[in-house]
Amino acid sequence: MNGNTSISGRRLALLHGLTAIVSIVVAAAACAGGISATALDKDGAKMADVVIYATPVGDIPMPAAGALETVTIAQDHLQFTPYVTAIRTGTAIKFPNYDKIEHHVKSFSSAKEFEIKVYEKGTPPPVVFDKPGVVIVYCMLHGWMRAYVMVLDTPYFAKTEASGAVMLDKLKEGTYEIKAWHPDMGMIKPALTQTVKVGPGGMQPITFNFDFVAKKRKPSKPAAGEKHH
Ligand SMILES: [Cu+2]
């Protein structure tokens, strides 16, 4: 009887070990889900400056906002850089002026109205974006200067660069509404939307086909003859 007990004890230990390994593998797979999204314009070309974000449908809990980061939109060579910024609600943005001339930063957007009056070099206090929505940032002195801030209530977002592609990983298994927005849509056109089921592992590819070609941005230096400070 003793021998039997000992064998089943060993079996049990082995079983526990296996169960532990299986649990670890399953846990790893459950964490690895996500979406790999590509933005294409009307001509099928890859699109930069597209904000792609995922909102869970139903009861998938979202991670806590965590510590607030501060991001930067610089005034540099008579342009705002970056042109498009995506942030989570509550994030602060610094607007330093790296130019030798003055700028007058202003937003009329309902998601965040603010004004940084004409000033010389330096960085004024950061602006906290506390409501979701699109914020258009203008310079009152240079009509071509414009920046877009997409303030989002979800932590799952990314902005495309020249490759037109982003990955939204760390998505828990479940259903998500994936939206894609480009500044040329402004506040008028709704973001493109797809509903996607994220499985327990792997990156699910999706494509957003926009029905326009992005307008060319004005060059950072105004054309000869154009008036500026
Ligand atoms: Cu300016």
Residues 149-179: pLDDT tens digits?
999 999 999 999 999 999 998 888 899 999 9
How much distance in Å is there from the Cα of 228 to the middle of ligand 1?
A: 9
Which pLDDT value is given to residue 228? Answer: 47
Residue 152: strand pairing partners: 88
pTM: 0.80
Q: Provide the CB-side half-sphere exposure for 153 (13 A, CA).
A: 8
d(CA 221, CA 77): 7
Which pLDDT value is given to residue 26? Answer: 46
How much distance in Å is there from the Cα of 214 to the middle of ligand 1?
A: 23
Domain ranges of the chain: 26-209
68 — pLDDT class (breaks 50, 70, 90): confident
pLDDT, one tens digit per residue, over 100-141 is 899 999 999 999 999 998 866 677 899 999 999 999 999 999
Which pLDDT value is given to residue 221? Answer: 59
Residue whose tokens read 């495309």: 160
Cβ neighbours, 10 Å, residue 76: 13
Percent of the chain with pLDDT over 90: 63
pLDDT, one tens digit per residue, over 91-105 is 999 999 999 899 999
How much distance in Å is there from the Cα of 224 to the middle of ligand 1?
A: 17
Neighbours of ion ligand 1 (CB under 5 A): 103, 139, 141-142, 145
- Secondary structure class of 197 (helix, strand, coil): strand
Mean of the pLDDT values across residues 23-39? 67
Is CATH 3.20.20.60 the right assignment for the domain spanning 26-209? no
**Pick the residue with more confidence: 2 or 182?**
182
How much distance in Å is there from the Cα of 73 to the middle of ligand 1?
A: 13
Contact 34, 203 (CB under 8 A): yes
Look up residue 181 and give its two tokens.
């927005």
Contact 51, 86 (CB under 8 A): yes
29 — pLDDT class (breaks 50, 70, 90): very low
How much distance in Å is there from the Cα of 113 to the middle of ligand 1?
A: 18
How much distance in Å is there from the Cα of 190 to the middle of ligand 1?
A: 29
d(CA 192, CA 180): 5
Question: CA 178, 85, 218, 189 torsion: positive or negative?
Answer: positive
Residue 138: strand pairing partners: 106, 146
Mean of the pLDDT values across residues 184-199? 91
How much distance in Å is there from the Cα of 167 to the middle of ligand 1?
A: 34
d(CA 46, CA 122): 36
Which pLDDT value is given to residue 63? Answer: 75
Cβ neighbours, 10 Å, residue 148: 23
pLDDT, one tens digit per residue, over 10-22 is 555 555 555 554 4
End-to-end alpha carbon distance in the chain: 96
